[in-house]
Structure 1
Amino acid sequence: MYHTRVHFVSPPLPKPKPNPNPNPNPSPSAHSPHSRYPRPQLPKSSGGRVPVNNPNHGMDAGGTDSDGREFKNAEEMWREEVGVADPSKKSNWYTEGVGYWQGVEATVDGVLGGYGQVNEPDIKGSEEFLNSLLAERFLDAGGGGNLVVLDCGSGIGRVTKNLLIRYFNEIDLLEPVSHFLDAARINLAPENLMVTEEHKAVNFYCVPLQEFTPDAQRYDVVWVQWCIGHLSDEDFISFFKRAKSGLKPGGFFVLKENVARQGFVLDKQDKSVTRSDLYFRQLFNQCGLHICKMKDQKGFPNGLFAVKMYALAPELPKKVYKSKSKRQVNRPGIIK
């Protein structure tokens, strides 16, 4: 359930409402699966926080599921999927999600939903984003340059091996699908890495996101990729509020996720939701998080959901700090 993977082919979009002033020459891409709405402009005074009074594309907008059913808003969808004050129904949602991924092979192609070819452009885009963040705002938190990251939804260790272990001294992996985590232990064994012994995977937590609480002030970065869609809105907010306590001073989150053009798209098969950009921003507000930086993923095939990277922090940075970490520039072999 929570691991590095991606939903690619967009499910059917909601049927468009009749246009009272139809355009005789509509754009052919207006309803293509990979097109998306422009993200809203943030007012300069908002400090990275987005106003939540726009109902057109956020959680108040309509959405659809992979069977083509339409919902008038996210509240209606979540009420049906996880219930209201119904622990058993919510438990079933998460159990079915994990159950889906327990039937997937522990390979790059498996965790990427059969689209293993996006592995390299994904890592390239993430590395460019991470480098810009380290240069602009990464803090040396007084740990002698010992940088620590939590890889949420780590799966088989794909992102850790190909990216994070070259920039961080210690990596903890969080993944509830046990055979994925077993594969990660093998992939990240010292003999299978091309980095110095100062860079290593330390802890392997077989725990779902909605149940995980980090050690206080352990992490410089919490990396969350292609897994947050499995959490209900309530658990999304609860997770980030708990995870904030695990950040060192100046630490931040990186969220990399599929983005719907508006509203949301529910995948009935693996129990996950693809949210729109504004939907995410509304949730960030409720988490008490600021957007420090954003970037669109490039280089993916047509026909896939758009993917965005968000750098999020509890507070806006007041100044840039230099890190004492020695970054490894050698590139390990891609996991086959």
Structure 2
Amino acid sequence: MLTPTVTLTGRPVFFPLKPQLSPPAPLPTRTNSKSYSSSMESAGADSDGREFKNPGEMWREHTGDSSLKTQWYHDGVAYWEGVEATVDGVLGGYGLVNDADVKGSESFLQTLFSDIFLDGGIGRHIVALDCGSGIGRVTKNLLIRYFNEVDLLEPVSHFLDAARESLVHENHMASETHKATNFFCIPLQEFTPNPGRYDVIWVQWCIGHLTDDDFVSFFKRAKIGLKPGGFFIVKENIAKSGFVLDKEDRSVTRSDAYFKELFTQCGLHLYKTKDQRGFPKDLFAVKMYALTTDIPKRTGKTRSKVQANRPAIIK
């Protein structure tokens, strides 16, 4: 098993794949708190061991006014600007998990495709948005094989340059029917998609950089970018409870309950979840969420129909 590198203070130096840091046991909730529901009143900690009673206390300290919030996002991008544009770089030194990550994501995507495209996707032009795309790792290894077009959204310019080089200039599998189309060098908190463009908006290992307010605001804006019946897919590290703040890269690892509360605030409905398997046990757990803008409608397809209805992909 790989042992992660840490500083003398115990702070993890890898993101997005980080060693587990367990926050302290939940403290009693405050009766006068109005900003967060009871499911989000769990205590948390930062990477130096500083404890917080709840997320509100942490966010007020780090992003409580406009200057602090601006600095928060500046520091997050600055961290990644110092990381090399390679698979090992964007995976925080854990490039060896790339195959397991792609395999887990593909399995999850296939189950969703069987529900989205009841006609097998025949004659459809399907489009995805890769949020926090980095060097295009997820697009190149997964999304471009399933979608006719993939747009990439990434605030770190040298990552996006590497993605463009890999997906447009070096990718011999690219064609007019399966290609990377647009490369947006814009942070999540400032992005608004074109209405009705995407069948799937993929959000992996990037939403932890957003404050709770900007998390909710992003998904509310991004809803307009989904086609009818489209999905958000969120894949993120999961804290055991509460939250863990990484002060170095300005990101927050949230618990499953914390995520679900934010999804509710976004007006999103949980359609399906799956745990990522095959990662080193000393890392945070990773979970995948499929989210819809409408209350999910379940279908009663047989297994054979599920397989028959899957759209064709590039092998």
Give TM class, smaller chain: 0.7 to 0.9
8 Å contact from structure 1 (residues 172, 202) kept in 2: yes
Deviation at 1:194, TM superposition (A): 2.5
Q: How many angstroms apart in 1 are the aligned matches of 2:84 and 2:193?
A: 28
Q: How far apart are the structure 1 equivalents of 2:217 and 2:136?
A: 25
Counterpart contact for 2:117–2:309, Cα < 8 Å: no
Q: Structure 1: 5+ residue runs without aligned partners? A: 18-51, 331-336
Q: What is the deviation of 1:216? A: 0.3
Counterpart position of 1:9? 19
1:169 aligns with 2:169: no
Change (3 A) 1:239 1:138: farther
Distance 1:303 1:194 in 2: 36
Equivalent of residue 61 in structure 2, options 55, 73, 80: 80
| Residue 228 (1) aligns with residue 207 (2) | yes
**Aligned counterpart in structure 2 of residue 125 of structure 1, from 73, 96, 104:** 104
Local SS of the residue matching 1:274: strand
Q: How do 1:202-221 and structure 2 match up within 5 A?
A: 202-221=181-200
CA distance in 2, matches of 1:189, 1:195: 7
1:324, distance to aligned residue in structure 2 (A): 8.8
Question: Is 1:69 aligned to 2:50, yes or no?
Answer: yes
Structure 1 residue corresponding to 2:167, chosen from 184, 188, 204? 188
Residue by residue, what CA displacement relative to the aligned partner does 1:71-130 show, whole Å, maximum 9, x if unpaired?
0000000000100xx221111100000000000000000000000011000000000000
AA at the equivalent of 1:306: A
Q: How far is the alpha carbon of 1:70 from its aligned partner?
A: 0.3
Displacement of 1:276 in angstroms is 0.2
The correspondence for 2:134, drawn from 139, 155, 169, is 155
User: Relative contact order (C-alpha < 8 Å, sep 6+): which is higher?
Assistant: 1
User: Cα distance, 1:327 vs. partner?
Assistant: 2.6
Q: Aligned residue for 1:29?
A: none
Instruction: Name the counterpart of 1:32.
Output: none
The amino acid that maps onto 1:174 is L
Instruction: Give the alignment partner of residue 327 of structure 1, picking from 306, 312, 315.
Output: 312
Q: Please, what TM-score do these two structures have when normalized by structure 2? A: 0.85
What is the match of residue 114 of structure 2?
A: 135
Query: In structure 2, what is the Cα distance between the partners aligned to 1:126 and 1:198?
Result: 22
**Structure whose residues are more often helix by fraction:** 2
What is the letter of the counterpart of residue 237 of structure 1? V
Change (3 A) 1:60 1:180: same
SS of the residue 2:93 aligns to: coil
SS at 1:245 equivalent: helix
Return the match for 1:271 from 242, 245, 250: 250
Provide the aligned C-alpha RMSD in A. Answer: 2.4
Aligned residue among 90, 102, 108 for 1:111:
90
In 2, Cα distance between equivalents of 1:101 and 1:120: 22
Gaps in structure 2 of 5+ consecutive residues = 1-14, 27-35
Partner Cα distance (2:49, 2:58) in 1: 13
Instruction: Name the counterpart of 2:231.
Output: 252
Percent of paired sites with the same residue: 65
Question: Is the aligned partner of 1:281 residue 2:260?
Answer: yes
**Paired letter, 2:164:** R
Asked if the contact 1:100–1:269 (Cα under 8 Å) also holds between the matched residues in 2, the reply is yes
Q: Deviations over 1:10-53 (max 9, x none)?
A: 23x34558xxxxxxxxxxxxxxxxxxxxxxxxxxxxxxxxxx96
Preserved CA contact (<8 Å) 2:117 2:310? no
Contact 1:262 1:276 (C-alpha < 8 Å) held by counterparts: yes
Which residue in 1 is equivalent to 2:271? 292
* Runs of 4+ displaced beyond 6 Å: 321-325
Structure 1 residues 139 and 268: alpha-carbon distance in aligned structure 2, compared to 1, 3 A threshold: farther
Distance (whole Å) between structure 2 residues aligned to residue 59 and residue 113 of structure 1: 28
Compute the TM-score of the two structures, normalised by the length of structure 1.
Answer: 0.80
- 8 Å Cα contact 2:24-2:44 kept in structure 1: no
Q: Whole-Å Cα distance in 2 between the matches of residues 88 and 16 of structure 1? A: 32
